[in-house]
Amino acid sequence: GDTFLGGEDFDRRVIDWLVFNFQRDNKIDLRKDKMALQRLKDVAEKAKCELSSVRETEINLPFIISTGRNEALHLQTTLTRDKLEELTADLVDRTIDICAKTLEEAELGKGDIEDVILVGGMTRMPRVQQAVAEFFGLEPCKGVHPDEVVALGAAIQGAALVDEKSDILLLDVTPHSLGIMIVGGYFHKLIEQNTTVPTSKSHVFTTVKDNQTSVKILVLQGESERAEENELLGEFVLTGLRRATRGEVEIEVTFHISADGIVSVKARDLETGQEQSITVTATSGLTEDEIRKMIDANKDYMVEVRSGQEFEKARHAAERVLDEVEQLFPKVSEIISGSDFGQDAVKKARGVVERARAAIAARDLPGLTEATEALTRTLNMFRGVVSKTRG
């Protein structure tokens, strides 16, 4: 499932629709009135639930807002099931995409599935049930109450944990990858998505600046390579590091997920043994922009992946692309340098090559990763130019 997708997302689409129509007709934005917005939330949820059993429902909110001239406006409209399905079509598709991804990760086909259990109140929506049936080619099981199924699963898991059911083997997994932010605003995964829990994983990082005496550990969950596109779970600071040149002080970061799903993170100075830790209790709720600002504010206190196998692997990959780009450079230059656009493209390509070589010389892993991506785009462009010439 998607822990960031639920009934409130569907409610929000109804609210947006109501606000848009009211603003179009009355030139007033109901979102600016907290009382009106709360009433909209209540009526949107009610209408959504009713449309699981009827084809249309009346939405009636008298005195929704005052105009300031001793007059009040009313909101009255009809929402149909078809309109609700239109407003939320992408959310339903997102649910089905998760099903497809899960089957792929489990290396299963649709034919391997015997029963589909629906979880959560939103699965009462007819369109959700229809989409599930169309995807799996079988009707979802309705013998388990969608609001109680999680509690039933938790009871089974609890019994397995205390060995009351020795014939049951349940493997709980983490739904998202877990890791920390490293220099450059990248997300370094320590525990991959769908890893069986309980589990522990450690990795050694280094300082990013000379004489750096502290590091800030930002704990994230998600799948994006960019830190700001993931969910911030928590943060803590390890202080008292020895003053040394960049990359000399090593910090071991350890993630541990217990059998009951509690995540704890520890950072330890390998030289002194000094450590700091955090237990994740809730998500931060920070937006992507807020996380990006946090990255900028703490860039001098980050860690980077320790040079070694990771850097060498990246260097070999970059040099393979570099070699091919440089082999094609003379020919491509000759073909496209006749125009201003072509000359500009060649100049940019040379800049990409120089950045890659500088990153290799500085052993800058994040910089090399970024340069390799740009090199790959350059190589694809070069191949396209040569291919068209041959054609």
Lowest-pLDDT choice from 22-36, 37-51, 377-391: 377-391
310, 206 Cβ separation under 8 angstroms: no
Quick one: pLDDT at residue 78?
95
* 100 close to 135: Cβ distance less than 8 angstroms: yes
Chain segment 293-325, per-residue pLDDT in tens:
766 665 555 566 555 566 777 787 888 888 888
Ramachandran quadrant class, 245 (left: phi over 0; alpha: psi -120 to 50; beta: rest)? beta
The residue with greater pLDDT, 240 or 390, is 240
Q: Say how far apart CA 187 and CA 138 lie, in whole Å.
A: 39
The pLDDT value recorded for residue 128 is 92
Find the distance separating the first CA and the last CA of the chain, reported in whole Å. Answer: 48
Q: Are 314 and 369 in contact (CB under 8 A)?
A: yes
For residue 295, the model assigns a pLDDT of 61
Residue with tokens 């822990």: 3
Per-residue model confidence (pLDDT) at position 54: 94
Q: Which two tokens stand for residue 206?
A: 């280094």
Percent of the chain with pLDDT over 70: 87
Q: 56-66 and 250-257 as β-strands: parallel, antiparallel, unpaired?
A: unpaired
Q: Which domains are delineated in the chain?
A: 7-87 (3.90.640.10), 90-161 (3.30.420.40), 178-305 (2.60.34.10), 309-390 (1.20.1270)
